[in-house]
Amino acid sequence: MLNKRTLLGAVGALALFAAAGGVARAEEVYIPLISKGFQHQFWQAVKAGADKAAAELGVTVTFEGPDTEAQVDRQIDMLAAALAKKPVAIGFAALDSQASIPLLQQAKDAGIPVVAFDSGVDSDIPVATAATDNSAAAGMAADKMAELIGGEGKVALVVHDQTSRTGVDRRDGFVNRIKEKYPKVEIVTIQYGGGDHLQSTEITKSILQANPDLKGIFGANEGSAIGVANGARELGRTLVIIGYDSGAQQKQAIRDGLIAGAITQNPVGIGYETVKAALAASKGEKVEKSIDTGFYYYDKTNIDDPKIAAVLYD
């Protein structure tokens, strides 16, 4: 049987152990990243960049997102759960910019820096945004479209959404460039397919059936572009398709000539810079408000160029 002195000693030892454990946990630098989804290879490449930064910088990173980019409520739940763990900072790619602001305000009030990635937030809460200049990139897509259709004719857009910054910026970047530079190019419709290739396929077929003289379609993300290509193929229609992102199916469609070309981002760089900025912000260090991670146009003539291949993802 334990005597009183032994019992007190054991209790004291347990208290010291618990305190030591508490210190160890407190020293862990935890940065969760909440993405817009997992269904596209793009997000897996962003995760790879985040993991690379975590390994180099000695921090603990988690990366998650909803099953589809239509699940705004699910993403908000993930954000709430991540904030409840009191991380030193958080990375967030908003599906719905406005819906996320109350929780992001809570993060700010708690002294948890927010770094937006891929999609910015319509707020000054994020200390930085690591992303492609989507407006400029979509402007380049518009230039390529106009060039390939001979500077005149009807075109359409299939966009993933109209609630995220990427959806809005890619749509507006394309539309504004056409209006500014190509008066003979007419945008007949803009449709939204949630980034889902099956839904985008059906939307594309409806657009093509309603516009037999359509010359081109811009697919504003991976799922949109694949859906556009599949819709055109199913109807046997030949037109100029410009995509966005890469992924195995889109790359193959470009090699096959079904998609003329696409804009690629630098997803590994987005993930890496997000973690790097989040860690710096957590230490009170100054970070750039806007971190431009770059973009490129690729087609079958340069898809195997080492510079391009390095930023494509399967």
Tens-place pLDDT, residues 36-58: 988 778 899 999 999 999 999 99
Confidence of residue 313 (pLDDT cuts 50, 70, 90): confident
- Helix 97-109 × helix 72-84 angle, to 10°: 10
pTM exceeds 0.85 for this model: no
Residue 102, SS3 per DSSP: helix
- Please state, rounded to an integer, the average pLDDT across all residues of the chain: 91
**Helix H or strand E encompassing 69:** none
pLDDT one-digit tens code per residue, 66-86: 998 889 999 999 999 999 999
Q: Which pLDDT score is estimated for 310?
A: 87
Residue 7, SS3 per DSSP: helix
DSSP string, 178-247: HHHH-TTEEEEEEEE-TT-HHHHHHHHHHHHHH-TTEEEEEE-SHHHHHHHHHHHHHHT---EEEEES--
- For CA atoms 12, 16, 17, 19, give the dihedral sign: positive
pLDDT one-digit tens code per residue, 255-305: 999 999 999 999 999 999 999 999 999 999 999 999 999 999 999 999 999
Range of weakest confidence among 7-11, 129-133, 168-172:
7-11
pLDDT one-digit tens code per residue, 81-124: 999 999 999 999 999 988 999 999 999 999 999 999 998 788 89
Domains of the chain and any CATH numbers: 10-130+267-293 (3.40.50.2300), 134-264 (3.40.50.2300)
Mean pLDDT on 209-229: 97
